[in-house]
Structure 1
Amino acid sequence: MSFKVLTSLIPKLSLDGFSKGFKTRYRGSLLHSKKMLLSTFDGVGNPAMNTIYPVLPGELTAHFQLKTGQSFTGGSFGANTASMGEAVFSTSLVGYPESMTDPSYKGQILVFTHPIIGSNGVPPRDRDEYGLLKYFEAEQIQCSGIVVSDYSVNYSHWNAVQSLSDWCWKSGIPAITGLDTRSLVQLLRSQGSTLGALNVGSKKLDIGNEVQWFDPTDGNLVDKVSIKNLKVYNPSGSVNIGLIDCGTKNNIIRLLCKSGARVTVLPWDYDFVPVIDKFDGLFISNGPGSPSFCQKTIENLKKAFEVYHRPIFGICMGNQLLGMAAGFHILRLPYGNRGHNQPVIELESGKCMITSQNHSFALDDSFVPEGWTRSFVNANDGSNEGVRHLTKPFYSVQFHPEARGGPLDANYMISQFVNDVVKHKDSEWHQSEARLFDSQLGLEKSSKLQMDLK
């Protein structure tokens, strides 16, 4: 069925009324409600190999291909370039600046399921009291490209300073609009994670002849996004947290600082064991790609387990690295868990939380090392979402409690970790004080004095 025929199916009144609102690049939102499921499946339910959307006069053509064979043509609203990456998606309704700058999306082409993207524009590069960008998770865009259904040419937001198109263009990020992204996500969810290629031009990339498929996750993406030198935030904080940076987001640092911590950010491969006593707690951040490239971090954590008795908390990649150091094996999920609506179950309480996730790998908890236990599982596929030590304050979760743009169900976990660190530090101080009294006063007088002090 041609685009002209599809357009004729939509009443003129609907189009006229729609044009009075935000000016979108395509009529896709209305087309999708009619016949646009043809974008990824043919009449008998088989994947369609090619889908072509109209390109408006004066606009460049863009192409999006999947390694599994499907291809899509739409309009370009980003940089005139090409990129490859793992095709992943976000189901968030807001927060595309935070998602695009999230280091966890390094090496990935990000598909947004929300039908209209860009209507809020892009905020300024203002910084908070800790020197962190207020509205972005990193200093620059981290994803390799974006795919949207309808790009909103006009934006309207009190805090916007530029359009999404301008931001992508200045940052060298290709972007395509006019695709039925919800059907595309159904395709990705049904056939599993796959590589994608995004290019601008009259023809799609001739993959196999002119260029070859390249998987960014075959390399160490963590090394590309991790800090290179130690950096301290909130130096007057009451406790010192060593943050192992595997691709940490600004909001992790911000929430730790707001909870009263001094945060020392460490490179992913930094040997922190010789100076581990300087830290009241350790935090292992999120990060992109496979944890198998972070053997140095895993070895450092193994050494830390032997000498360290203070709290350790990991999220996302941090969950995988903490688990691998403990003896868990890692596996690659057939589909991956992505989006801002992933339900997880806390095994101890039975409580369900809605969480933000973006990972292809997970801990294999079919075998649980001695001294450890599972703490969270995914309510959809039963995959591991967290582990903890039975006697030591070591624990981690696979999801993102710090996610901006929601959901906020697990947001308490960052401040809870800092509270655990404070309590443990206070406990150490009281134990040290008791030992001092014992040595100077003797056990009997020391016990009486401590009882009086309590």
Structure 2
Amino acid sequence: MPAQKNKNKALLVLENGAFFEGIPFGFFSPNTFGEVVFNTAMTGYQEALTDPSYAGQILTMTYPLVGNYATNKENFESKRVQVRGFVISELCELPSHFKAFETLGKFLKEYKIPGLYNVDTRALTQVIRTKGVMKGVICKSDVDIKKVSEEVNLRPHPDSEDLLPYVTVSKPEVWNKKGTRNIVLIDTGVKYNILRSLERRGCRITVVPANTSFEKIMRYNPEGIIISNGPGDPAKPTYVIETVRKLINESDIPIFGICLGHQILALAAGAKTYKLKFGHRGVNHPVKDFETGTVHITTQNHGYAVDSQSLEGTNFKATKFNLNDNSIEGLTHKNKPIFSVQYHPEGGPGPQDNKYLFDKFLKMVGKNV
């Protein structure tokens, strides 16, 4: 059931002067600034809201009805809500689900995240697809829109800073201490379901901060290393890139890069990345594996991709491609047990299409022991 209209209004103003009116819900905080992006999934809004890859961003859903199954205590992908703002079309205030804990509005209020509903998200998405992702601000409706858009345009882009300090663990944490496989995960914004997927496979996972050095990682005597997903421009955290470069060149430990980890692997190998016009965010992206000929439906959330031409002269080859825009979705090292994917193997769009990637990684780990 959609929420009833009221007289309170607020705006989402974009840097190009476009603006969209809506009704505030959750915790309204005027002048909330971020990069405005869209997600095409029909479900999974709680997972998206708590995904660290959305740090620095105002998220809009293209599916019109949001909140109809409320929020629960299980579908967290991190300790808190990570988006800066949430923009939707219809807000359901009377949800129904057997696991429901609290409404979406109460959930956002608890984490002090501003939301807007009754927004024309179809028009907003069309602007982003046409012009590309851009900076925006959630503000009161009585502002001077031209002045606000000019101010937004002058503000530094969220990607201009390293966002990893906002999402990484502050100190090492261990998941599943009784696990038999000793895996180190470099936390650049990991989703909890990656850790759950490894835990279900009997791994003992040491989650280390993004700035952990090569030497400290090696002291854990890892059987395998994972570089997680995360937010922002992959070229900004140069300290992670340098650590991964040493891991590639000075060890034979199996390495698995996921999303941002995929991009960091490429940068560590000497390749380059570039910003996509409006990114890949959704649960319906077709990816073809050119080694097997198989097409997988994938869950994705990223705004950058690896430059295919820059792979020349590196020890990596592209093995998977996005069938929508032909961007690189997977890399494999030519000589070592190292590979990566741009999408999320822990996601369930198929729903089990990509779980095999964890098994592939652990098979490499087994061979290397």
TM normalised by structure 1 equals: 0.76
C-alpha separation in 2, matches of 1:209 and 1:110: 21
Paired residues for 1:28-427 under 5 Å: 56-57=5-6, 59-82=7-30, 83-124=32-73, 134-203=74-143, 206-207=147-148, 213-276=155-218, 278-368=221-311, 369-403=313-347, 407-425=351-369
C-alpha separation in 1, matches of 2:359 and 2:48: 22
C-alpha separation in 2, matches of 1:173 and 1:353: 34
Whether the aligned pair in 2 keeps the contact of 1:291 and 1:320 (CA below 8 Å) is yes
C-alpha separation in 2, matches of 1:270 and 1:349: 36
C-alpha separation in 2, matches of 1:136 and 1:404: 15
Structure 2 match to 1:428: none
Q: 1:287 to 1:406 in 2, by over 3 A?
A: farther
C-alpha separation in 2, matches of 1:150 and 1:208: 26
Whether the aligned pair in 2 keeps the contact of 1:276 and 1:308 (CA below 8 Å) is no
C-alpha separation in 1, matches of 2:337 and 2:48: 31
Q: 1:275 to 1:319 in 2, by over 3 A?
A: closer
Whether the aligned pair in 1 keeps the contact of 2:185 and 2:226 (CA below 8 Å) is yes
Q: Which has the higher strand share?
A: 2
Q: 1:214 to 1:166 in 2, by over 3 A?
A: farther
Whether the aligned pair in 2 keeps the contact of 1:243 and 1:263 (CA below 8 Å) is yes
Q: Which residue identity does 1:329 align to in structure 2?
A: K
Aligned length: 364
Identity of aligned residues (%): 37
Range with bigger deviation, 205-214 or 88-97: 205-214
Q: Which residue identity does 1:207 align to in structure 2?
A: V
Deviation at 1:404, TM superposition (A): 5.1
C-alpha separation in 2, matches of 1:139 and 1:233: 15
Q: Output the aligned Cα RMSD.
A: 1.9
Range with bigger deviation, 394-403 or 203-212: 203-212
Q: Which secondary structure state, in structure 1, belongs to the residue aligned with residue 232 of structure 2?
A: coil
Deviation at 1:349, TM superposition (A): 1.6
Range with bigger deviation, 306-315 or 200-209: 200-209
Q: Which residue identity does 2:99 align to in structure 1?
A: N
Deviation at 1:316, TM superposition (A): 0.6
TM normalised by structure 2 equals: 0.93
Q: Which secondary structure state, in structure 2, belongs to the residue aligned with residue 161 of structure 1?
A: coil
- Structure 1 unpaired stretches of 5+: 1-21, 27-55, 125-133, 426-454
Whether the aligned pair in 2 keeps the contact of 1:245 and 1:285 (CA below 8 Å) is yes
Q: Which secondary structure state, in structure 2, belongs to the residue aligned with residue 291 of structure 1?
A: coil
Higher relative contact order, chain-length normalized (CA < 8 Å, sep 6+): 2
- Structure 2 unpaired stretches of 5+: none
C-alpha separation in 1, matches of 2:102 and 2:144: 29
Q: 1:406 to 1:88 in 2, by over 3 A?
A: farther
Q: Which has the higher helix share?
A: 1
C-alpha separation in 2, matches of 1:371 and 1:173: 43
Q: Which residue identity does 1:339 align to in structure 2?
A: G
- CA deviation profile, 1:393-432 (whole Å, cap 9, x unmatched): 011011111125665421221232123212321xxxxxxx
* Structure with larger Rg: 1
